[in-house]
Amino acid sequence: MNTATVTSLESSSTTASSSLRNKHNGNSNGTSNLKTAAKPTTSENNRTTEELRRAIQKKYRHVAAVHSKSRPSTLSHDSNTAPSFIGFRNLMVIVLIVGNLRLMMENIQKYGVLICVRCHDFRRQDLALGLGLYLLIPCHLFAAYLIELAAAQQARGLRAKSKDGAASPTEDQRSRFNSTWKIIAWIHAVNITLALAVTSYVVYFHIHHPLIGTLTELHAIIVWLKTASYAFTNRDLRHAYLHPVKGELAAMPEIYQQCPYPQNISMHNLAYFWWAPTLVYQPAYPRTDKIRWVFVGKRMAEVFGLGVFIWFASAQYATPVLINSLDKIASLDVPKILERLMKLSTISLVIWLAGFFALFQSFLNALAEVTRFGDRCFYEDWWNSESLGAYWRLWNKPVYQYFKRHVYSPLIGRGWSPKAAQLAVFFASAVLHEVLVGIPTHNIIGVAFAGMFLQLPLIAITTPLEKMQTPTGRMLGNCIFWVSFTILGQPFAALMYFYAWQAKYGSVSRQMAWNSVASS
């Protein structure tokens, strides 16, 4: 063989060997890839047990453990967490709305529309006397200012003749001060008594319409309370001014330093107190920086809207129930009276709640905004009251603060027991309630007095429930409050005074007259 042939054979052999090596290498790589695929990846190694459990659940749908631990029922006492009842609250609201809509439709179908704008019995005499009394009643507050102005002038003269003391006043100084105070107190007493007595006389004998009479009497009571507070507060301030014990003046409320005695005896100070939404006199009050007139407009719109609603509800719903109750009361049909009472309780509660919001939330806030009165805590969450005592402390803060400051605390300071002082407070409040309701309706029958004074036994019953640590006791106290408030309280009083009014002026009096004529 020649050289070319040998070279060609070597080249072919080399190519074949290379091909066999490549094929062997390829098989080797394939085996390596299979081994690599069989080994778990790094991400699979990092999968948590929970992820694997979810993956298994997706893969094996029928093996999920539904019952994996012991659990109590949601409403069971063994449950560790209290469930939310917002859904039931929403259901109750819906049921309440639907139920009242049904009653409204039934009322319209049975009685028709009873609203009549022109059907009122406002006599011109009632309007004239009501307006006249509204303008004259504040004159008694001005008379109290003149009394205190004279007392302040005398105090300035006595202060100029004496020196600041470092001890309590002597017996002689105390005696002279008490003698002077007795004279001032008698003049104040005559003034405020006339304010209430004259108004009550005119309302009872000369103002027929109960609404005008109630508004007039309420204004007189407010001015009466304010005048008494003005006299009592300035009495203590005058005593501290005339007999300044070292450190005592500095211990006075800090806000009083803005207008110390006797600088507070001024017409401007008195006029502000007259219009301020409080019954308690102070030389100075917390004030806001400016008046938000948009806020005032919104609150007055609420007053107007709620006033229209109260008028509509009273005429359309409350009046028919009251009228239909007259014959039951006259015949002393107790089951029917109770049925009427429960029917009246719903609408009376709605009217009362609307009146509460209109007065304490809307009107007093509007008045506070106009006068820039800063302390607007006119009420607290009385609806959560766990006792009757808590309710009377929370629902009407101006009146509560007044009686605590000017009646309860002074009596405690004189050595009275807390229960005796509480009895005096409720007695005074009961008298004012009877005056406010009985005089405008021309029927002083004692229902308002008894309803207020009999709160004391209910307070004694519910106070231990309020102090109980268990929710059951507090819930029971709140339920007793609502039952006494919605059924035994206002509806019963409204029924009694309406019957007394009708017996004196309305259909019952005409029936009585007819029966007497027929019997004769």
Higher-scoring residue by pLDDT: 499, 119: 499
Asked if the model's pLDDT at residue 276 lies above 90, the reply is: yes
Output 68 or 446, whichever has higher pLDDT: 446
Helices marked H in 258-361: 267-275, 293-313, 319-330, 334-356
Question: What is the per-residue pLDDT for 75?
Answer: 83
Least confident of 81-90, 99-108, 159-168, 430-439: 159-168
Q: How far apart are CA 219 and CA 266, in angstroms?
A: 23
517, pLDDT greater than 50:
no
| Confidence tier at 514 by pLDDT (50, 70, 90) | very low
pLDDT band, very low/low/confident/very high, at 45 (cuts 50, 70, 90): low
Using 50, 70 and 90 to split pLDDT, how confident is the model at 274?
A: very high
| Residue 35 in this model has a pLDDT that exceeds 80 | no
Share of the chain above pLDDT 70, in %: 84
- Band the pLDDT of 1: cuts 50, 70, 90: very low
**pTM of the predicted protein model:** 0.80
Angle between helices 124-136 and 138-161 (to 10 degrees): 10
pLDDT at site 43: 53
What single string gives the DSSP state of each residue in 141-169?
A: HHHHHHHHHHHHHHHHHHHHHS---SSPP
Quick check: 286 and 375 in contact, CB under 8 A?
yes
- Angstrom CA distances, 2 to 6, 7, 8, 15, stand at 7, 9, 10, 21
pLDDT of residue 15: 45
User: Token pair of 500, please?
Assistant: 């007394």
Is residue 472 within 8 Å of residue 386, measured between CB atoms? no
User: For 289-308, what is each residue's pLDDT tens digit?
Assistant: 999 999 999 999 999 999 99
Query: What pLDDT is attached to residue 182?
Result: 86
Residue 162 confidence class, pLDDT cut points 50, 70, 90: low
pLDDT the model gives residue 242 = 82
pLDDT of residue 424: 95
Q: Is 209 a catalytic residue?
A: no
pLDDT for residue 354: 93
**Does position 107 have pLDDT exceeding 80, yes or no?**
yes
Residue 277 in tokens: 């939404």
Name the nearest CA neighbour of 221 among 184, 190, 192, 186: 192
pLDDT at 46: 58
In sign, the C-alpha dihedral spanning 297, 301, 307, 310 is negative
| Alpha-carbon gap, residue 449 to 216, rounded angstroms | 20
Is 137:223 a contact under the CB 8 Å cutoff? yes
In this prediction, residue 240 carries a pLDDT of: 86
Q: What is the pLDDT of residues 329-378, one digit of tens each?
A: 888 888 888 888 888 888 888 899 999 999 999 999 999 999 999 999 99
- pLDDT tens column, 307-324: 999 998 888 888 899 998
373-421 pLDDT, tens per residue? 999 999 999 999 888 899 999 999 999 999 999 999 999 999 999 999 9
Q: What is the mean pLDDT of residues 11-20?
A: 45
Q: Is the pLDDT of residue 26 over 70?
A: no
Q: What mean pLDDT is reported for the chain? A: 83
Tell me: pLDDT of 185 over 70. Answer: yes
Instruction: Please give the pLDDT value at position 484.
Output: 85
Q: Which is higher by pLDDT, 276 or 465?
A: 276
Q: Which residue is catalytic, options 140, 188, 243, 433?
A: 433
Q: Which residue has the higher pLDDT, 225 or 180?
A: 225
Confidence of residue 166 (pLDDT cuts 50, 70, 90): very low
Does the pLDDT at position 37 exceed 50?
Answer: no
pLDDT at 176: 73
Give the per-residue pLDDT at 10: 45
pLDDT the model gives residue 56: 80
Top-ranked range on mean pLDDT: pick from 46-60, 139-153, 467-481: 139-153
pLDDT in tens, 47-80: 688 788 778 878 887 877 888 888 888 888 887 8
Q: Does 198 score more than 60 pLDDT?
A: yes
Q: Hey, what are 164's tokens?
A: 């600041």
* Residue 106 scores a pLDDT above 70: yes
* pLDDT at residue 21 is higher than 90: no
- Judged against a pLDDT cut of 70, whether residue 5 lies above it is answered with no
Parse the chain into domains and list their residue ranges.
120-278, 380-507
